[in-house]
Chains A and B, each alone.
Chain A
Amino acid sequence: MFNRLKLRMQDMGTIKKLILGADAQAHRRGEDEPGAEHYLLSALELPDGSARRVFERIGVDPSGLQQAIQEQYRSALDLIGVDDNGMIDDSDPVISNQLLHQSKPSGQAVMKKLYELKKGDKDAPLIGAHVVAVIAAMEHGVAVRAFNTMGVDQRELSTAAQDEFNSGLL
């Protein structure tokens, strides 16, 4: 009973770090609200280090994710013959005046699926690998296109996330 309570408190702290981190990632890139890709970047910065290890398990350097996000925007514009004129890389940070946190729909979907995933596993703490597992299961969106740009096989990534849960490193 006490352990469960302790775990819940720990998870609340992790959720807070994850959301604040996602907000910061979005604002830094000149976006008002975080999407799934910002939650993934935030998960990579969580102190448990598990999100990074999931990528490393499949031989991918996660530090290339931000670059892949930019690249997939440029590729999408290329397809319609639009030159971004450097605007994709040149973003002024957003100074947010929002009192309440608001995510893009893809960010909301991450949080909802994270809750569902954790509901089935109440005895383990919430870690960055959970976020990777949730986003690896997505079919579309900026994060998925960034995976494609990085050459990440989403099924391999899901399996690696599962291996990370089973590794007992935390």
Chain B
Amino acid sequence: MIDIKSIPSPDKPADALAAVVALRLMADRLERKTVKRAIEQGWTWAQVAEALGVTRQAAHKRHAKQCLKPKDQNSVRVTHVQPA
């Protein structure tokens, strides 16, 4: 829980800016993990994009590679099946 009183004072901008950078890193990691989980649970890219407030293309571009399951990666292989 963030306590407003614990935010660094404006006369210590280095501390406040360091906190901003750390929060961005945490937010990125949280986004990556959560999107991966949402896709695994059957969310569509359109739903993920809407929830994140970004375009579908932006969400897909940023996260699609992380969300490829081994099964999906195999499915792009070309297989030759002999006709019966």
- Enumerate chain A interface residues (CB-CB to B < 8 A): 30-32, 72-77, 79-82, 84, 87-88, 90-92, 94-97, 140, 142, 145
Segment with Cβ contacts to A, from B20-28, B40-48, B50-58? B20-28
**Among candidates B18, B25, B66, residue contacting A88 with C-beta atoms closer than 8 Å:** B25
Question: What's the least CB distance linking A100 to chain B, in Å?
Answer: 14
Is A76 in contact with B6, judged by CB distance below 8 angstroms?
no
Could you jot down 8 A-B contacts, CB within 8 Å? A30-B29, A73-B25, A81-B1, A82-B23, A82-B26, A84-B22, A90-B29, A95-B66
Q: Which residues of A contact B3 (CB under 8 A)?
A: 81
Total number of B residues with any Cβ neighbor in A under 8 Å: 27
Is A96 in contact with B29, judged by CB distance below 8 angstroms?
no
* Given A72-B18, A82-B2, A97-B64: A77 in contact with B32 (beta carbons within 8 A): no
Is A81 in contact with B6, judged by CB distance below 8 angstroms?
yes
Is A92 in contact with B66, judged by CB distance below 8 angstroms?
yes
Closest A residue by C-beta to B7 = A80
Q: How many CB-defined contacts (below 8 Å) exist between A and B?
A: 69
Is A91 in contact with B14, judged by CB distance below 8 angstroms?
no
Is A84 in contact with B26, judged by CB distance below 8 angstroms?
yes
* Given A79-B15, A87-B26, A92-B32: A97 in contact with B65 (beta carbons within 8 A): yes
Q: Which residues of B contact A140 (CB under 8 A)?
A: 14, 17
Question: What's the least CB distance linking B10 to chain A, in Å?
Answer: 13
* Given A79-B18, A79-B19, A145-B18: A30 in contact with B28 (beta carbons within 8 A): yes
* Given A94-B66, A95-B65: A81 in contact with B2 (beta carbons within 8 A): yes
Does B76 sit within 8 A of A, measured CB to CB? Answer: no
Q: Which residues of B contact A32 (CB under 8 A)?
A: 28
